[in-house]
Amino acid sequence: MYNNYTLARFFDNKTHAENFMSGQLRVGRIRYYRELESDDGRGDPNEGVSSIFKPGDVTFQLGVEGEKMRTIEDFITMKLAHNADLESHVLCMTKVFYENGNNRVDIQIRDLDRLLEDFCNSNLETAHVVFISDVRAFADRLSRTPQFECARAVKYDDFDAPRETYSNESVFLKDKKYQHQREFRLKFNLPGIVGASHSTIDIGDISDIALSINLSEHKLAHE
């Protein structure tokens, strides 16, 4: 760990955690999370939204080329997303801060109960969390993976307010109601994969730079 933070990935069972430790990264399409109908923290209808227009913000002209255009000024709120962004594949992790002193590392996970609810169905008995113990080494291995494109912390915004962003930024934007997740998102480019909700990318075993913990057996500090 460096710079007083590490990355964590939550799993609802041991098998999924072990697969991750072996370097099998299960990445999901933005469109999947956008269309996912669930009450947990995974489904988000605003995933990939690049622009939001409120009634009266802009004027649209609709029609067939060569025919008279129809002008629409009073319409319902419109949210636009680029198809290229919706086809992007991402791996979502949580940024976790720690304190290092007295020959021990104290990891404090804020909103742990909410994270368990979002990612582990609140089942503490089977829940596992994998910590990346060497973020620098993890980043180096990702950089050597052909499908890896970029990674950065997600920014949280008010999706009830009008806004417009550049297309690539929308992959790293989420509604502020999810800000407790403190998401750090890895983006992958899989141009040959169409339609599948998830794909698996092999970056090689990472058990030497990661630690898997069964949350029912370890008491982690949280608030």
pLDDT tens for residues 10-61? 998 999 999 999 999 999 998 888 887 555 556 788 888 887 777 666 676 7
Task: Tell me how many degrees the CA angle 123-154-104 measures, rounded to the nearest 5.
Answer: 60
Query: Is the predicted pLDDT of residue 181 greater than 70, yes or no?
Result: yes
The residue behind tokens 């399409």 is 29
pTM, two decimals, is 0.80
Task: Tell me how many degrees the CA angle 7-193-209 measures, rounded to the nearest 5.
Answer: 25
Q: How many residues comprise the chain?
A: 223
What are the residue boundaries of the structural domains of the chain, listed by start?
Answer: 5-48+83-222
Q: Give the span between the Cα atoms of 84 and 63, in whole angstroms.
A: 25
Query: Is the predicted pLDDT of residue 197 greater than 50, yes or no?
Result: yes
For 82-106, the pLDDT digits (tens) are: 888 888 899 999 998 776 655 444 5
Under 8 Å between Cβ of 151 and 145: no
How much is the pLDDT for 222? 44
Query: Is the predicted pLDDT of residue 79 greater than 70, yes or no?
Result: yes
Q: Give the span between the Cα atoms of 215 and 223, in whole angstroms.
A: 15
Query: Is the predicted pLDDT of residue 183 greater than 90, yes or no?
Result: yes
Closest CA to 205 of 137, 150, 119: 137
User: pLDDT band at residue 223, thresholds of 50, 70 and 90?
Assistant: very low
Q: Give the span between the Cα atoms of 10 and 16, in whole angstroms.
A: 9
